[in-house]
Amino acid sequence: MPKISSKLPNVGTTIFTQMSQLAIEHDAINLAQGFPNFDCDRRLQDLLNRATRNKHNQYAPMSGVPALREVIKDKIQNCSQVAVDVDAEITITSGATQAIFSTILALVRQGDEVIVIDPAYDSYKPAITLAGGIVKAYTLRRPDFKVDWDEYKSLVTDKTRLLIVNTPHNPTGTVMTKPDWEALYQCIADRDILVLSDEVYEHIIFEGNHHSVLEHKGLRDRAISVSSFGKTLHCTGWKVGYAVASSKITAEIRKVHQFTTFSVHTPSQYAIAQYIDHPSVYENLALMYRRKRDLLQEALSDSRLRIYDSQGTFFMLCDYSELSDADDVTYTQQLVKECGVATIPLSVFHTHPYDEKLIRLCFAKTDEVLLTAADRLCKL
Ligand code: PMP
Ligand code: GLN
């Protein structure tokens, strides 16, 4: 047996896979992994069928099907009032995960520092490590989980190459406001630093509007925004997303993209292009999820969990310190087994030790499932 020296010695199976597996084993309600338990629209399914029958079954262009890039351009114009070049600035990727991975691999070199905001989505740090970069973590704190930009700025050094931001933020549900973007810009205005903005929950925002990094004039040329149709159209299994960046940055991302996957599933791209032709498809999303957030929050009001307000995404945080002294990983395992509800422990999203007794609940579930889960949690 050859000796295998792992390039990612500290990485195991993701917490989402682990908790979903545990939920199946214990026949528990899965409020852990972030995916809807309801189906995507029948019309979208029919469009996919039609695309395969219409012979859209061979390789798509490396950068994505032109019709899809065209509707994305219109969507960005409509939502953010920003003009993007269809050919030079939009790349369709295999979910947001691959957009993030290709971006980090393309832009981060050995020894470059990358600032992430903890709790951070789990795919950022392994990608930084594989690129030879160094993770610098800024930790969000209660009660509002907002960035203190003066403190954040102290992490910026001559070695900083990339900042990674996520708005609306998984798992805290906080959002970047216009002043936040300006404050971030002021941290790096006089330096050669790029900004990767993970905006997969851009249409799931409950207070105010989503502000894309692309809207900030100073950041536009140094920004990469990443989106996911999985979140927007309830089809996480299709794995179609995209990255938008200036032509120079896009050219670098595509150098990696073309050798990670080359191109993305063709019929899905045609189906989505036809489906999102009308803004109503994504405009009603926030209302639907706001109602679900309120339903779960209200149903949990008699529980001993302390709920934090979620301004966006389909997640909310809960403090369980009234219920247990156990660390969050142990507690979530107990919850699956003893209460029949799977959740996500917050510590796994942190670089530094974190024992804050917080768990994440996903409310992208049918009302019935949310109410049953809440009923179980209220009995604790
Ligand atoms: N970023 C964040 C913040 C996410 O929550 C997710 C997963 N839902 C992704 C990226 C990955 O998205 P995709 O499933 O499109 O790869
Ligand atoms: N993004 C989803 C979440 O935060 C999970 C995606 C995955 O399982 N990789 O729960």
User: pLDDT digits over 175-223, tens only?
Assistant: 999 999 999 999 999 999 999 999 999 999 998 899 999 999 999 999 9
Which atom of ligand 2 lies closest to the CA of 170? 4
Residue 169's domain comprises: 42-280
Which atom of ligand 1 lies closest to the CA of 97? 16
343 lines ligand 2 (CB under 6 A): no
Which of 280, 311, 328 is the last residue in one of the domains?
280
In terms of domains, do 245 and 312 share one?
Answer: no
Residue 331 placed within a domain: yes
Q: What is the pLDDT of residue 176?
A: 98
Low-confidence residues in the chain, pLDDT < 70: none
95 lines ligand 1 (CB under 6 A): yes
Q: What is the pLDDT of residue 277?
A: 82
In terms of domains, do 136 and 165 share one?
Answer: yes
In terms of domains, do 276 and 290 share one?
Answer: no
Structure tokens at 353: 């030790």
In terms of domains, do 121 and 158 share one?
Answer: yes
Q: Nearest bound ligand to CA 238?
A: 1
Q: What is the pLDDT of residue 279?
A: 85
Q: Is the pTM of this model over 0.95?
A: yes
CATH number, domain at 181? 3.40.640.10
In terms of domains, do 156 and 125 share one?
Answer: yes
Q: Which residue's C-alpha comes closest to atom 3 of ligand 2?
A: 34
Q: Nearest bound ligand to CA 117?
A: 1
Q: What is the pLDDT of residue 1?
A: 86
In terms of domains, do 113 and 184 share one?
Answer: yes
Q: What is the pLDDT of residue 237?
A: 98
Q: What is the pLDDT of residue 361?
A: 98
In terms of domains, do 21 and 78 share one?
Answer: no
User: pLDDT digits over 81-129, tens only?
Assistant: 999 999 999 999 999 999 999 999 999 999 999 999 999 999 999 999 9
CATH number, domain at 326? 3.90.1150.10
33 lines ligand 2 (CB under 6 A): yes
Percent of the chain with pLDDT over 70: 100
Q: What is the pLDDT of residue 278?
A: 83
170 lines ligand 2 (CB under 6 A): yes
Cα of 242 from ligand 1 centre, angstroms: 11
Number of domains making up the chain? 2
